[in-house]
Amino acid sequence: MHAIVLGAGIVGVSAAWFLREAGAEVTVVEAREGAGLETSFANGGHISVASGPWAAPDVPGKMLKWLGREDAPLLLRPFRWDPALWSWGVRFLANCNARDYAANAAVIGAICRFSAAETARLRDTLAIDDQNSLAGTLTLCTTPGEMASAAAKEKRLVASGFEARLLDRAGIAAAEPALADAAPRYAGGLFAKDGETGDAWKFTQGLADAAERAGVRFRYGAKVARLATASGAVTGVALDGGETLAADAVVLAAGSWSVQLAAAAGLRIPVYPGKGYSATVPISGRNGAPQMAVVDEHAKIYVARFGDRLRAAGTLELAGWDKTPSPTRAAATVATLKRLFPEGGDFAQATHWTGLRPMSPDGRPLIGRTALRNLWLDTGHGPLGWTMAAGSGRLLAALMTGGSPPLDPAPYAPDRFR
Ligand SMILES: Cc1cc2nc3c(=O)[nH]c(=O)nc-3n(C[C@H](O)[C@H](O)[C@H](O)COP(=O)(O)OP(=O)(O)OC[C@H]3O[C@@H](n4cnc5c(N)ncnc54)[C@H](O)[C@@H]3O)c2cc1C
């Protein structure tokens, strides 16, 4: 089988690796000049095995409270006329209830745990240096509601065999001395050894190099114009410039841009871009950078250290495919990092970045066959694409090559939205 994978983000590269491992001939087509240069470039770097979806019971209320606040953790630009946003938004809100939240969190957790193990295996066997850290994650809580959620998460983590403990203010500073100044502003926190951090871009590049050595062909600088279809199947991948590539199967792993490519082939996929921000600062010899990964639950900011760099990433802005940063939101991201770690780095040298998370309304990725019989989806990974990529790739490769699926594929099937 010759498979063409569209997109060389962490998800497309992972799919290519596992398809090749399963014996397929694989070509990856990527518009940018290298792997991992879009949403997989400067994300938060957290590999989180116990995160729930954004669609949570308390989110509609919070969204109303945050309306009109330019620096809100979740910003919906409500007066934007965008039918895609509104139809996605209705589905998102329908998932904001306790029953669906619990069901979505369970299936997200299953693929995250499986995927984290696959990522670690690839890192070790392929000797990929992504500046991985296993120091643990400290989640900081501001409100009693956040403390209650942290307590519930602690129970879930301990029941799943992870080390986790709730901390008071003093405990926060004792666990991560770099938080000594910031700790008094928080109600408490949760320390957990439930995941790790790593630079997703470095990992994507390392995996792409390994895939190339294993025989995967990469066509960089090749933008897909459209999928040619006939009789219920994809017959070719047409590139800007006129060339058309033939394949037995096509994997749509183009992140947030999968939506337009699918639409041109007559398929509607309920994925909407969720813009997020990151700010990366050089530590430059300062002695106030943390060793642990830190999450400010209230601000929805995730902090990770990659060697001599410190990064804050997060927040969600629903405003279409435009990556232009809002100066207010970019400034708020670096301000949160500075408030947490005043001596953490050289803030004047901050590098700002935005990325478009491919968000599904229920937070689950879309992995599987579409209504076009040789077109497969591997997208919709939202805020957890780095965490879920390796597991998604292995699952997809098994489905496409007739192998035994490593986990139940049903909860991730794209046709759940029909
Ligand atoms: C601020 C922020 C923080 C985040 N933090 C975390 C985190 O801590 N942990 C975590 O697990 N996840 C995190 N994520 C989510 C994660 O980054 C994404 O889910 C993941 O990168 C998506 O990968 P992808 O391969 O699907 O998409 P992308 O990385 O966007 O790759 C898609 C590729 O398709 C290519 N493409 C698009 N259109 C075409 C075309 N027409 N022709 C050819 N190529 C095309 C693009 O150029 C791109 O390279 C974060 C995201 C953001 C924005």
For residue 135, give the DSSP letter: S
- Over range 169-188, report the average pLDDT: 96
Q: Count how many domains the chain has.
A: 1
Between 143 and 67, whose confidence is greater?
143
Beta strands in 44-114 (DSSP E): 46-48, 74-76
The closest residue, in CA terms, to atom 22 on ligand 1 is: 385
Q: For residue 79, is pLDDT > 70?
A: no
Centre of ligand 1 from the C-alpha of residue 7, in Å: 9
pLDDT for 224 beyond 90: yes
Tell me, using a 6 A CB cutoff, whether residue 276 lines ligand 1: yes
Nearest-atom number in ligand 1 for the CA of 378 is: 26
Specify if 254 maps to a domain.
yes
pLDDT value of position 395: 98
Specify if 370 maps to a domain.
yes
Candidates 14, 40, 317: which one to mutate for ligand 1, based on the most atoms within 8 Å of Cβ? Answer: 40
Any domain includes 44: yes
State the pLDDT confidence band at 161, using cuts at 50, 70 and 90. Answer: confident
pLDDT tens across 303-316, in order? 999 999 999 999 99
More reliable by pLDDT, 327 or 63: 327
Indicate whether residue 278 lines ligand 1 (CB < 6 A): yes
d(CA 34, CA 319): 27
Instruction: Categorize the per-residue pLDDT at 76 as very low, low, confident or very high, splitting at 50, 70 and 90.
Output: confident
Using CA atoms, how far apart are residues 401 and 276, in angstroms rounded to an integer?
35
**pTM greater than the 0.85 cutoff:** yes
* C-alpha angle 6-12-15 in degrees, rounded to nearest 5: 115
Q: What is the best residue among 4, 32, 38 to mutate for testing ligand 1's pocket, by most ligand atoms within 8 Å of CB? A: 38
Look at residue 413 in the predicted model and tell me its pLDDT: 98
**pLDDT for 77 beyond 80:** no
257 three-state secondary structure: helix
Confidence of residue 180 (pLDDT cuts 50, 70, 90): very high
Instruction: Say if 26 falls within a structural domain.
Output: yes
Residue 80 has pLDDT above 70, yes or no: no
Q: Is the C-beta atom of 113 inside 6 A of ligand 1?
A: no
User: Ligand 1 center to residue 59 CA distance, Å?
Assistant: 24
Segment 222-250 mean pLDDT: 97
What is the CA(41)–ligand 1 centre distance, in A?
8
Cβ(386) to ligand 1 under 6 A? Answer: yes
Average pLDDT, the chain: 95
Residue 255, ligand 1, Cβ within 6 A? yes
Q: Is residue 260 part of a domain?
A: yes
Domain assignment present for residue 285? The answer is: no
Residue 398, domain CATH: 3.50.50.60
- In whole angstroms, what is the distance from residue 396 CA to residue 251 CA? 9
Those residues whose C-beta lies under 8 Å from the C-beta of residue 113, and which sit 6 or more positions away, are 49, 160
Mean pLDDT for 179-203 is 94
Residues pairing with 355 in the sheet: 276
Instruction: Report the percent of the chain where pLDDT is more than 70.
Output: 99
- What local confidence, expressed as pLDDT, does residue 66 receive? 87
What ligand 1 atom has the least distance to the C-alpha of 381? Answer: 19
Q: Identify each DSSP E strand in 180-321 by its residue range.
A: 188-192, 195-197, 217-219, 224-230, 233-239, 244-245, 249-252, 272-282, 293-296, 301-306, 309-318
**Three-state DSSP state, 153:** helix
| In the predicted structure, residue 344 carries a pLDDT above the cut 80 | yes
Report if residue 400 sits inside a domain: yes
Residue 40 lies in a domain: yes
Mean pLDDT, residues 249-273 taken together? 97
H-run or E-run covering 387: helix 385-401
Find the 62 Cα to ligand 1 centroid distance in Å.
Answer: 26
Ligand 1 centre to CA of 358 (Å) is: 7
For 11, the domain range is: 1-66+82-131+198-274+359-418
Query: For the segment 352-401, what is each residue's pLDDT rounded down to a tens digit?
Result: 999 999 999 999 999 999 999 999 999 999 999 999 999 999 999 999 99
Residue 78 has pLDDT above 70, yes or no: no
